[in-house]
Structure 1
Amino acid sequence: MQAPVPGRVAQIAGEAAAADGADPLDEAARIALADGAASVIAEDDAFALLHAGDLSLVVRPTARGRGLGSALLTRAESSYGTGLTAWSHGNHPAAARLAARHEWERVRDLWVMRRPTSLPLPALEVPDGVTIRSYRDSDAADVVAVNAAAFADHPEQGAMDLDNLSRRMAEPWFDPAGLLVAEDESGMLGFHWTKQHDARLGEVYVVGVAPAAQGRGLGKVLTLAGLHHLAGLGVDEVLLYVESDNAPAVAVYSRLGFGHADTDTHVQYRRP
């Protein structure tokens, strides 16, 4: 019996992740699939998933090299039109070849940077008048407002609203103790949302500082506060995602001990 579409998608994606060393579906795609908000073209050995203009195309490893990806991409282009984007998680060579064949443009490189927790962390020095504490339910509107201002030009993160915040907080990994907020007498200045994937892996999930509070070193302070929190949970490694051309952020993370390997890159393509 053929598996239903969500089950088949999860099965193919799981096999691809095991073979490639990178999950072909990011968090947003998985949430959209779970919530029934994604359009799916599914075959026995491949699928194309679209949500919010972003396309995920995955072929079962044992079925590769037979033209399934190209055929499915042609169907997706016909069904979904122009202006699509697609991520290659892990910068897969086959994705690059497929993009070139269909004349999709490489438009973004997103780096994964990693840091072992065995490296000593600098002491956390919080500026005078600033408090860093864990999230409270009454903080939701302020987190959304700070996020919207901090990521006004970010194509994904800047769109987070109260509903999306609640949906993320409904995920099994959410821990309010790991969402750290910085505030002073004027209100919330910024936040660092950490994420624990499993016993060994943590993530700098989102660091946002309100524009009015920038220039005070709060980004580094919040990042460091989150790293201390994750180290206290006993994880072995912490990762984060950063745009490859965001030189100031890359410099801050590098000084904190994060490194990047060329293979640890996610590439976004766009159909003109």
Structure 2
Amino acid sequence: MGIVLGPNRYGKAETRVVRVYRDGARHSLQDLNVSVALSGALDATHLTGDNSQVLPTDSQKNTVYAFARSHGIGSAEEFGLLLARHFVDSQPSITRARVGIEQYDWQRLGPHSFQRDGSATRTATVRYDGERAEVIAGVTGLVLLNATDSEFRGYVHDPYTTLPETGDRILATAVDATWRYADADAEPAVGTGAADGGWDGAYAAVRAALVAAFTGTYSRSLQQTLYAMGQRVLTERPDVVEVRLALPNKHHLLVDLSPFGLDNPNTVFVAADRPYGLIEGTVTRDDAPPPLGEW
């Protein structure tokens, strides 16, 4: 039985870069966390320690900083495409690049003052194999809650079931969503919820569609809500071919106030952080092109 080297990659993870644009008295900024992963003809460094085909991860970090200055950061997606294409096209030994970006938003307080927006984090993952590029945008930690219009009943009861059925419950989640664009080289179109086109406008439109579907769906299960959210995005955004969602069920449990002589008509709850249900799913077009895949 032989031993062989399997799939592998390497890169610089979590390079933090803040780019300030000093346009007169009114400044703006982009705040990113950039992770690069490269793969290709790299067997020798694993098998013999020959590093002649290895671009140091420190050089990858420096490229992020240099490109932030020389090219600027128009959007997370645009910056990711720029970096991924550079690493593959400039290094003969590198055949694939993956650039993952977290973008942290700031609220403007004045011409040059900002407050960090901690409600959610924008994400983008770019893959490039020398011929084809792929853009997957996303958002993590988008906390949403419906105080009513949610029920959960009619489920399987087995010997270990103690959960009571309910026709009126709080539905809360922290959305982790990613969506894949049909064409990384095409400028995203203007869509519902976006004032303009481009990657920023597309992100705003998809996020608005996710929120609108969550708030506007009478939910009989979080699974139903998940599908409604993905369906809404694909209906409104012809440039998106796939939506992946992970929705933790942030349970809000009714507090028993009877020991204190008080009723509780669905008004006082304890927010439990764990354990929690986790609902995951993909909503896709039946003619969606295959993804470049994980590597």
User: Common fold, TM-score beyond 0.5?
Assistant: no
Higher relative contact order (CA 8 A, sep 6+): 1
More helix by share: 1
- Give the structure-1-normalised TM-score: 0.29
- Give the structure-2-normalised TM-score: 0.27
